[in-house]
Amino acid sequence: MVDESADPRVNFARRLRALQKATGLSVRRMEVESERTPRRRREDRLRLKRSTIAGMTSLERPVRPELSNFEVFVDTCLRVAAENDIALPPDLADRRAWDEAYRELREQVDRNPRRPAPRSLPERPARPQATISAEPGEAAEDNAQRPPLLRRRILLTTSVLAVAAAGAGIPYWFRGTRSPTAAAAGSPSPGTFSALPPGEGAYSPVGKLLSPPLGKDNPVWSVAVGWLRGEPVAVVGRADGTVQLWNPVTGRARSGPLAGHDKPVYSIALRPPIAVSGGVDGTLRVWDLTADPPTSTRMSGEPTGGINSVALAVVGGRTVAVSAGDDRTVRIWDPAVPRHGGEILGASLDSEVKSIATGQAMAVSGSADGKVRLWDLAAERVVRLLGTHESTVGTVAMGVVRGRLLAVSGSEDGVVRVWDPSGTEPADLGEPIHNAVKTVAIGTVKGRTVAIAGSDDSAIRIWDLATARPYGDGLTGPGTAAESIAIGQAGGRALVVSGHWDGTIWTWSP
């Protein structure tokens, strides 16, 4: 942990964070908007990466930003504030004051460079690589005694071995009763996750790489899983605007990248034989998955802002799509009649709607102002405000636990929260993560309803929703944050698929 009183980076990061919050820009939106911001010296446009934004605003591991990154960050916030008539506090709205603060920071840091933290060494030499594939119990016991960074390297190597063993056929899922936690920078210390519930049996935490990146700077923003023609299917959406189908069990691509959107595909909802995708271009597209290759039709309506999230539900016997948009609306659409535009549920809200999920003809939404709302899709209205987070709620999910409909939300404040639409008090799952929660999903693992969350520290955590306790040690393998997670069933076992910032797609069968 950084000594806030001694390190000027912390105060500077706090100010940058305050500017971002005052402007209402999520990390995801900051990345997109930064590319639109003109440079000061007629240089090519610069797109800030999410890891760069996170480093600039981190209070635990603050960095001195590069000049170009600092200028684009501040200028993006000031531009968006001006375009949306957002009144910023005087100390945050003055670009000259920002430039002076940056010069002072640079002088202080360059005069007093931060000493690197001491590195801990393993108590004994690392075993040869061949021993990594020992019995699961032995590997877990051995890895538990290693430093976090070394444990992560072993996990990643083990994951690569699993992929090599799988080839193009059905993957070999690692089995064991315990596994070390993925220990990325900023991830929770050992012991944060509890052991499995008594008598739970085999648990497979290590994932399989389904797809490497398909290009540079092409994150997988969205993923959905289901069944199509008797086979499991994962539908993913990427930053380049394409959609693709995979068989997540065999590892076989069921289509090539399918063009449709002009900008990143932030969300996909799946109810075979159709899927609906929503993008930053402000459009929704209905995909006919039975066609070879799948085809799409754009839903009518002029784009009024980016579509951040879309979900499918059955209301009155018909399938409907529900969207959450930057135009501050929740809309309901009829995929069977794509020429009809979406109808606004209720009225426009106070801030951008960042996430939507459905269950039992109800929906829950999360907004940039941290508010979580419950919606009645049959009545086409908001039921009530469930509560708030301290920051943007970029992901929500709904599911049934012991006959009760529950919702789970994840926020940039690092909190994963469970909501009961009946009106009881919400409950947090675990301690705050201290990193933005990017994606949550609800599904079933070995008969238990669980919530799975991915966050900016690259960890993937699991909780048993019936007890609100951690389920196992989470899921390991990926080296970057999960931007999207979906969970389904294949062969009587849970199937988890995730899309990541580095463009990879991973699968698990926990």
Query: Residue 207 — very low, low, confident or very high, per pLDDT cuts 50/70/90?
Result: very high
pLDDT at 389 over 80: yes
Whole-angstrom CA distances from 55 to 3, 187, 332 are 16, 14, 38
Q: Higher model confidence: residue 224 or residue 326?
A: 224
pLDDT at 187 over 90: no
CA–CA gap between residue 350 and residue 327 (Å, rounded): 10
pLDDT in tens, 407-457: 999 998 899 999 998 878 899 998 888 888 999 999 999 999 999 999 988
Q: Higher model confidence: residue 46 or residue 148?
A: 46
29: its two tokens? 């939106």
pLDDT at 191 over 60: no
Q: What pLDDT is attached to residue 109?
A: 67
CA–CA gap between residue 94 and residue 248 (Å, rounded): 50
Query: Residue 301 — very low, low, confident or very high, per pLDDT cuts 50/70/90?
Result: confident
Q: What pLDDT is attached to residue 202?
A: 63
Q: Provide DSSP, 158-227.
A: HHHHHHHHHTTSS-----BS--PPP--TTPPPTTSSPPPPTT---B--B-EEEE--SSTT--EEEEEEEE
Which residue type is seen at 164? Answer: A
pLDDT at 122 over 80: no
CA–CA gap between residue 287 and residue 298 (Å, rounded): 9
Query: Residue 460 — very low, low, confident or very high, per pLDDT cuts 50/70/90?
Result: very high
Lowest mean pLDDT among 194-198, 211-215, 340-344, 444-448: 194-198
pLDDT at 307 over 50: yes
Comparing C-alpha atoms, which of 389, 414, 383, 409 is closest to residue 397?
409
Query: Residue 154 — very low, low, confident or very high, per pLDDT cuts 50/70/90?
Result: very low
Tokens 């001694």 label which residue? 6
- Our CA angle for 424, 314, 483, nearest 5°, is 70
| Helices of type H across 301-340 | none
Lowest mean pLDDT among 102-106, 241-245, 311-315, 369-373: 102-106
pLDDT in tens, 336-370: 999 888 999 988 898 999 999 999 899 999 998 99
Whole-angstrom CA distances from 104 to 15, 64, 115 are 14, 11, 19
Q: What pLDDT is attached to residue 193?
A: 33
Specify the DSSP element, H or E, that contains 149. helix 148-166
Q: Which domains does the chain have, with CATH numbers?
A: 8-111 (no CATH), 208-508 (2.130.10.10)
pLDDT in tens, 156-185: 333 332 333 333 333 322 222 223 223 232
SS (H, E, C) 252-297: EECCCCECCCCCCEEEEEEECCEEEEEECCCCEEEEECCCCCCEEE
pLDDT in tens, 461-507: 999 999 999 998 899 999 899 999 999 998 889 999 999 999 999 99
pTM above 0.75, yes or no: no
Which residue type is seen at 129? Answer: Q
Q: What pLDDT is attached to residue 6?
A: 59
DSSP tag of 347: S
Which residue type is seen at 138? Answer: E
3-state secondary structure of 75: helix
pLDDT in tens, 84-118: 999 999 989 999 899 889 888 877 765 444 433 33
**What is the CB-side half-sphere exposure of residue 148 using CA atoms within 13 A?**
13
pLDDT at 130 over 70: no
**What is the CB-side half-sphere exposure of residue 441 using CA atoms within 13 A?**
25
Comparing C-alpha atoms, which of 123, 136, 115, 122 is closest to residue 7?
115
Tokens 């693709």 label which residue? 244
Contact 192/429 with Cβ under 8 angstroms?
no
SS (H, E, C) 125-143: CCCCHHHHHCCHHHHHHHH
Average pLDDT over residues 380-391: 93
Average pLDDT over residues 276-295: 95
